[in-house]
Structure 1
Amino acid sequence: MTITGAHDRIAELAARLEQENTDLAVVVMPEHVLMLSGFWPMLGRTVLLCDRTGSTVALIPDCYRQEAETIDPVVDVRFFSFGLVDSPNLEDSLSTEISRLFSEHRWTRIGWERSLDQGAPSWNSADMVFPSAKLEETLRRATEHVGATVDIAPILLDMKRCKNESELEGIRRAGEVSCIGLRFFDRFVESGRTGVEIAAAVEREIMVQGTGYGGARRVRAFAQVATGPREGAVGYRPNEISTDRPAGSGDLVLLELGVVVDGYWADRTRVRCVGGPTETQQQVLSVVNEARQAAIHAIRPGATAGDVDRAARAVVRRYGYGDDFPHITGHGTGFAYHEPYPTIAPNSTAVLEEGMVFTVEPGIYRADLGGVRIEDNVAVTAQGAEVLGPYRVGLSGSENDDERSS
């Protein structure tokens, strides 16, 4: 993984702090640390401090010195003892390091991610760490100079709306690694295999084959698989529930797939039929793919998120399936599996800008059929849209049966 141009992001944050008359930003959420330093935290215990002059320090547990090699050289890295027999507790370690920093500066108005209630995990996704009042307590313990504390979450969320070229490179790589899983899914689906079995096999393939791809260091996959009409008919929910139900001949099998590569995310969906698809199944796939293409063709700087949703929804309605497409057409992604901006919804007036990254994922769900959704990630470009990690669209494992994929 190449070191990012995080210095541009630091300069952007410093300018925003100056506008808000805030001396210092204290950042702990992994996606924000990544954006500002190029380092994807292992545990979520890294603390990054950036002041209004652009001076930036990362406090990182010293057991992760090797992984911290990816950090942008513009960031001053300081390590603290954590997780060892003789380590102080976390708050004491951080308080000591922060106290040293405050002795070098006269920061009084401090911003932290107070209002965040959702975020992407660190590499150790089994434990999530969120900023809380304890962080503010640690800051106040460290120095008597802390005056007012303010919420900088809105600033950081706004900064993430558009990705720079270095970030797009990382998201593009995640999209390409996700194709490893989609390709394996195409080959692996067969009668008798359960949703749990398919999901676990896809995740393994991505971790084994994706690690090292294009220099990727750390890769994880989160696969969810619905098998058959009953499970697929509710595939519009925010997640699938993989079960021990075996797929049978003629069943549609729906894969919802999240992939993270060195902190950058891809969010994909494809569907396969066990055996040859029926005429109805093939027709529904063609409608969903046409809706996906219409949405992608509607993407350009200056268009609204609502324009993109309407383009997809108009196709589905034209074929008589309007009531079977109950969810939005897409959401932001890139620094997290799901980002709140932009939301590709019918009434959204959000104006698309170059560098925005979001999903396009029309779908049709019926009790007599199951679920058919095609989900790709796109970046808004000056010319329109780039699909990040293009992959075939088809119900069988044969490329001869492909729909147009772009």
Structure 2
Amino acid sequence: MSPRSSSGFPFPPKPCSPSLSRTLPPCLRVIPVRDATKLGRLRELASSRQLDALILQLPENVVYVTDYWPLLGMTFVVFPVDGEPALVHSNFETEAKTWIKDVRIAVSESVTEVADAFANGLEVVRQVLEDRGLARAKVGYEGSFSSVGTGFLKYRTNSVTPGSLETMKRKLPGVSWEDATDLLYEARSIKTELELEKLRVANEVSGFGLEAMYLGLTEGVREVDLATKIENASVTRGVGYRGAEHVIACAFVSSGEFTAETYGVCFGNSPKKLRKGDFVMLEYDVVVDGYSSDMSRTYVVGQPDLKQRHLLETVYEAQVEGVRMEKDGLPAKEVCKKAEDIIRKGGYGEHLKHYFGHGVGVTIWEPHPYIHSKSSDLLKAGMVHSAEPGAYVHGYGGVRIEDNVFLSRSGPVYLSTYRPIQE
């Protein structure tokens, strides 16, 4: 099996490696930049639906439009089709670092008043709409998001519930509402150059954790301790790296025969100790200033034996050859079928459990492109997705190798580069 460096795919200009990551000059503050390409695409899609504006509250959409990653999820964005956006910011949040000039404060609570943060935010949104002549506008909202990205406080998530919509209708009585979920997903599926740079950083910060995993594969180490070490590496080395301010890392480590069950029962991060010869699988999600990476690695404690090596190389070949065929306009299902064919030829057809990949961006899991053998999606230049084929042999062990890939106009580019397979 040839290493990826000779597979023909271009690497990002600054791949994650210990020597490089330690010599880059620190940058302690990100300066948000207005992404005209992204905003223009969103306006075009909203206009095609005859919408006058979008009102957004989910942290993933707030960061998408404004570059500000809300701490609590109490922030609103008013995005007119004509004119500049406004940010309605809770007094409970940190200072909003954003390029937006119209930033208004909504009082969530004070020493003299117990307030309804959501309703108070909408009251300020109403003022924005009146100021912009949009009090009776047709507005798109986040009506049916099924997978919701968190704010910086990862234990708090927000969603637009039926009760939330009723409050919105009550506070903004002149507005007519339309669910814009599919519009937002479509806009987010194509990444701009500025977004791509954010995703590169997220992948490089993830690489710090992958390195910690590889160096920490020691007999007797507990799964939970290895997971903690992985997360700690990305957070401590990631904050300040290439301007990163906030980093969330979530590592899920399983070992031995339980690596075959990783897509069934949630085994892992347990007190179980690694044994020599064990498969060790990492599912690793990292978010840097609101942009995500979604990675997996499978290594062996010690050196893989011939049987393990065959499974590892089969899955690796499936990933590389699936990615190699990607181009603008190709049906996504063809990539998945290619990878599955390789895994079947390797003798693991009955051990396939899932698709080849999914979109990655302001959430870990974006619906486009959905790279499944039954998918109707077409690959488009500008998309970023996971590439995560796997084979899971019950009672023996499983292998998944997952990287993030950017589809440029000239072909696929790996965003993640750290040791895809054990040498």
2:70 match: secondary structure: coil
Query: Per-residue CA shift, 1:196-238, capped at 9, x if unaligned?
Result: 1111121111111111111100001010011111x11112349
Asked if 1:225 is matched to 2:246, the reply is no
When residues 383 and 106 of structure 1 are mapped into structure 2, their CA distance, relative to the original with a 3 A threshold, is: closer
Higher relative contact order (CA 8 A, sep 6+): 2
Are the aligned partners of 1:239 and 1:256 in contact in 2 as well (CA < 8 Å)? Answer: no
Give the Cα separation in 2 of the matches to 1:9 and 1:253: 39
What's the TM-score once normalised by structure 2's chain length?
0.87
Asked if 1:6 is matched to 2:35, the reply is yes
Query: Per-residue CA shift, 1:165-199, capped at 9, x if unaligned?
Result: 11111111101111000000001121112211111
Equivalent AA in structure 2 for residue 115 of structure 1: S
Query: Per-residue CA shift, 1:333-389, capped at 9, x if unaligned?
Result: 121111111111113232111111111111121134311111000010111111112
- Residue of structure 2 equivalent to 1:82: 108
- Residue of structure 1 equivalent to 2:356: 329
Are the aligned partners of 1:356 and 1:379 in contact in 2 as well (CA < 8 Å)? Answer: yes
When residues 179 and 95 of structure 1 are mapped into structure 2, their CA distance, relative to the original with a 3 A threshold, is: closer
- Residue of structure 2 equivalent to 1:111: 140
When residues 240 and 362 of structure 1 are mapped into structure 2, their CA distance, relative to the original with a 3 A threshold, is: farther
Asked if 1:357 is matched to 2:384, the reply is yes
The counterpart of 1:254, out of the listed 256, 281, 284, is: 281
- Residue of structure 2 equivalent to 1:296: 323
Give the Cα separation in 2 of the matches to 1:134 and 1:54: 30
- Residue of structure 1 equivalent to 2:51: 22
Are the aligned partners of 2:37 and 2:192 in contact in 1 as well (CA < 8 Å)? Answer: no
When residues 39 and 258 of structure 1 are mapped into structure 2, their CA distance, relative to the original with a 3 A threshold, is: same
Give the Cα separation in 1 of the matches to 2:151 and 2:369: 23
2:261 match: secondary structure: coil
Asked if 1:211 is matched to 2:239, the reply is yes
Query: RMSD between aligned alpha carbons?
Result: 1.9
What is the CA distance between 1:164 and its match in structure 2? 0.8
Equivalent AA in structure 2 for residue 45 of structure 1: M
When residues 51 and 188 of structure 1 are mapped into structure 2, their CA distance, relative to the original with a 3 A threshold, is: same
When residues 214 and 271 of structure 1 are mapped into structure 2, their CA distance, relative to the original with a 3 A threshold, is: same
Query: Per-residue CA shift, 1:246-295, capped at 9, x if unaligned?
Result: 11121111111000000010011111211222111111111111111101
- Residue of structure 2 equivalent to 1:93: 120
Equivalent AA in structure 2 for residue 27 of structure 1: L
Equivalent AA in structure 2 for residue 218 of structure 1: H
- Residue of structure 2 equivalent to 1:199: 227
1:160 match: secondary structure: helix
Structure 2 spans left out of the alignment, 5+ residues: 1-29
Give the Cα separation in 2 of the matches to 1:178 and 1:186: 13
Give the Cα separation in 2 of the matches to 1:240 and 1:338: 21
- Residue of structure 1 equivalent to 2:271: 244
Are the aligned partners of 2:406 and 2:415 in contact in 1 as well (CA < 8 Å)? Answer: yes
2:322 match: secondary structure: helix
Equivalent AA in structure 2 for residue 196 of structure 1: V
1:233 match: secondary structure: helix
When residues 14 and 238 of structure 1 are mapped into structure 2, their CA distance, relative to the original with a 3 A threshold, is: farther
Give the Cα separation in 2 of the matches to 1:293 and 1:250: 25
Equivalent AA in structure 1 for residue 210 of structure 2: L
When residues 106 and 313 of structure 1 are mapped into structure 2, their CA distance, relative to the original with a 3 A threshold, is: closer
Are the aligned partners of 1:240 and 1:256 in contact in 2 as well (CA < 8 Å)? Answer: no
Give the Cα separation in 1 of the matches to 2:116 and 2:387: 45
Give the Cα separation in 2 of the matches to 1:144 and 1:360: 45
The counterpart of 1:186, out of the listed 210, 214, 234, is: 214
Give the Cα separation in 1 of the matches to 2:165 and 2:399: 47
Asked if 1:170 is matched to 2:198, the reply is yes
Equivalent AA in structure 2 for residue 207 of structure 1: V
Are the aligned partners of 2:255 and 2:268 in contact in 1 as well (CA < 8 Å)? Answer: no
Give the Cα separation in 2 of the matches to 1:101 and 1:276: 62
Equivalent AA in structure 2 for residue 6 of structure 1: D
- Residue of structure 1 equivalent to 2:75: 46
Q: Which moved more, 1:174-183 or 1:291-300?
A: 291-300
1:284 match: secondary structure: helix
- Residue of structure 1 equivalent to 2:369: 342
Give the Cα separation in 2 of the matches to 1:85 and 1:177: 40
Equivalent AA in structure 2 for residue 367 of structure 1: H
Give the Cα separation in 1 of the matches to 2:417 and 2:107: 44
Query: Per-residue CA shift, 1:111-165, capped at 9, x if unaligned?
Result: 211111222111011011111234433434434423x211111110111111111
Give the Cα separation in 2 of the matches to 1:315 and 1:54: 51
What is the CA distance between 1:92 and its match in structure 2? 4.2
Asked if 1:273 is matched to 2:293, the reply is no
- Residue of structure 2 equivalent to 1:398: none
Are the aligned partners of 1:26 and 1:48 in contact in 2 as well (CA < 8 Å)? Answer: yes
2:103 match: secondary structure: strand
Are the aligned partners of 1:30 and 1:120 in contact in 2 as well (CA < 8 Å)? Answer: yes
- Residue of structure 1 equivalent to 2:158: 129
What is the CA distance between 1:239 and its match in structure 2? 5.9
Asked if 1:142 is matched to 2:168, the reply is no
Give the Cα separation in 2 of the matches to 1:370 and 1:344: 24
Give the Cα separation in 2 of the matches to 1:362 and 1:233: 13
Equivalent AA in structure 1 for residue 320 of structure 2: Q
Equivalent AA in structure 2 for residue 293 of structure 1: V
When residues 182 and 91 of structure 1 are mapped into structure 2, their CA distance, relative to the original with a 3 A threshold, is: closer
2:385 match: secondary structure: strand
Q: Which moved more, 1:177-186 or 1:54-63?
A: 54-63
